[in-house]
Amino acid sequence: MLRYIARRLLLTVPLLVGISLVSFLMMHMAPGGPIGSGTDLNPKATAESRARLKAYYGLDRPLHVQYGRWLGRMATLDFGDSFSPDGRSVAEKIKERIPITLTINVLSMGLIFLVAIPVGVYSAVHKGSLFDRISTVAVFTGFAIPTFWLALLLMILFGVTLGWLPISGISSLDYESLGTLGRIADRGRHLVLPVLLAGFGGLAGMSRYMRSNMLEVIRQDYVATARAKGLPEGTVVFRHAMRNALLPVITILGLSVPDLLGGSVIFETIFAIPGMGQLFYQGVMSRDYPLIMGILTIGAFLTLLGNLLADVGYALADPRIRQG
């Protein structure tokens, strides 16, 4: 097992290099550049000052030299400095943005599990019932609803019409003057809608997935055996069937990392949440090369890590795979 993990970890290195190379080439082959966006409209910017800026950021070097430098710095985990006027280090910028994005994604994961697993299990056990049919329709609608649109509707309903929840940012103006409890409550009120929306897409997918796993497991012989032994139905469903149906969910969890990261761009932009997604969006808009490269690399790393954890977790949970 340890050897397997070590081999997988080693494999991520060439993958990450490949990914960074693709990102790098893509960025640099596109027309325009970071210097253009800041100086095109400035009448005082001369060709000479532009060249100086280019040299300052190292953009005058041939592409392979630039990439080599970036890769060399990455080897020491140095992400470089952002091109934005504040010129702060990319690592620092990302570090201060990650907690809020992670908080929202973890909370929404929790929401997905709390709702989707019971719904999926109940639908499967009572296949064809009214509840099953209603939840199937709900799942299909859930798949088709654009998250950002649902966000708008909920903002109108809870923020504008009812006035119950704030619709942007992560804290109120008077946040600093609140006590600890007040701060927690305030932060909570700001996070309700984002967490709900971040989890929404996964909710539909996960309950459908759980339902089909459960249907698969229920047909197995050992479930019939458990019933034939005279075990109570609750024991059969929860102890025998559900535990096995939950196994593949581990995989889905690991594989959903890229979707969650991608989704954070949308809901962080809508709700003006200062997280990774918003940072990436701003970076892309201002062509902040080091920042974009940094976030793409971290995103890819998290994705690979998710895949690895999914495989390892699955192997740990299922002895058939561990020994095979």
Q: What mask of x and - would describe binding to other proteins in positions 188 to 227, judged by CB under 8 A? A: ------------------------x--x------------
Stretch that binds other proteins, among 79-87, 106-114, 236-244, 277-285 (CB under 8 A): 277-285
CB 300 to other proteins: min, Å: 5
CB 79 to other proteins: min, Å: 16
Nearer to other proteins, 33 or 178 (CB): 33
Q: What mask of x and - would describe binding to other proteins in positions 72 to 91, judged by CB under 8 A? A: --------------------
Nearer to other proteins, 53 or 138 (CB): 138
Q: What mask of x and - would describe binding to other proteins in positions 235 to 264, judged by CB under 8 A? A: ----------------------xxx-xxx-
Q: Is position 184 an interface residue for other proteins (rule: CB under 8 A)?
A: no
Enumerate residues 117-176 that contact other proteins by CB under 8 A: 127, 140-141, 143-150, 152-153, 155-156, 159-160, 167
CB 130 to other proteins: min, Å: 16
Nearer to other proteins, 240 or 287 (CB): 287
Task: Print the SS3 string covering the chain.
Answer: CHHHHHHHHHHHHHHHHHHHHHHHHHHHHCCCCHHHHHHCCCCCCCHHHHHHHHHHHCCCCCHHHHHHHHHHHHHCCCCCECCCCCCCEHHHHHHHHHHHHHHHHHHHHHHHHHHHHHHHHHHHHCCCCHHHHHHHHHHHHHHHCCHHHHHHHHHHHHHHHCCCCCCCCCCCCCHHHCCHHHHHHHHHHHHHHHHHHHHHHHHHHHHHHHHHHHHHHHCCHHHHHHHHCCCCHHHHHHHHHHHHHHHHHHHHHHHCHHHHHHHHHHHHHHCCCCCHHHHHHHHHHCCCHHHHHHHHHHHHHHHHHHHHHHHHHHHHHCHHHHHC
> CA 228 → CA 122, 219, 221, 237, distances in Å?
21, 13, 10, 13
CB 68 to other proteins: min, Å: 20
Q: Which of 284, 308, 309, 312: binder of other proteins (CB under 8 A)?
A: 284
Using CB under 8 A as the binding criterion, the count of chain residues that bind other proteins stands at 52
Residue 183, both tokens: 């701060």
CB 161 to other proteins: min, Å: 8
Of 6, 114, 81, the C-alpha closest to 288 is: 81
d(CA 259, CA 197): 13
Stretch that binds other proteins, among 40-48, 88-96, 174-182, 281-289 (CB under 8 A): 281-289
Q: How many CB atoms lie within 10 A of CB 188?
A: 11
Nearer to other proteins, 153 or 224 (CB): 153
Nearer to other proteins, 157 or 184 (CB): 157
Q: Which of 6, 25, 26, 272: binder of other proteins (CB under 8 A)?
A: 26
d(CA 107, CA 116): 14
Q: Which residue ranges make up the site for other proteins (CB under 8 A)?
A: 15, 18-19, 22-23, 26-27, 30-32, 127, 140-141, 143-150, 152-153, 155-156, 159-160, 167, 212, 215, 257-259, 261-263, 265-266, 269-270, 280-281, 284-285, 287, 292, 295-296, 299-300, 303-304
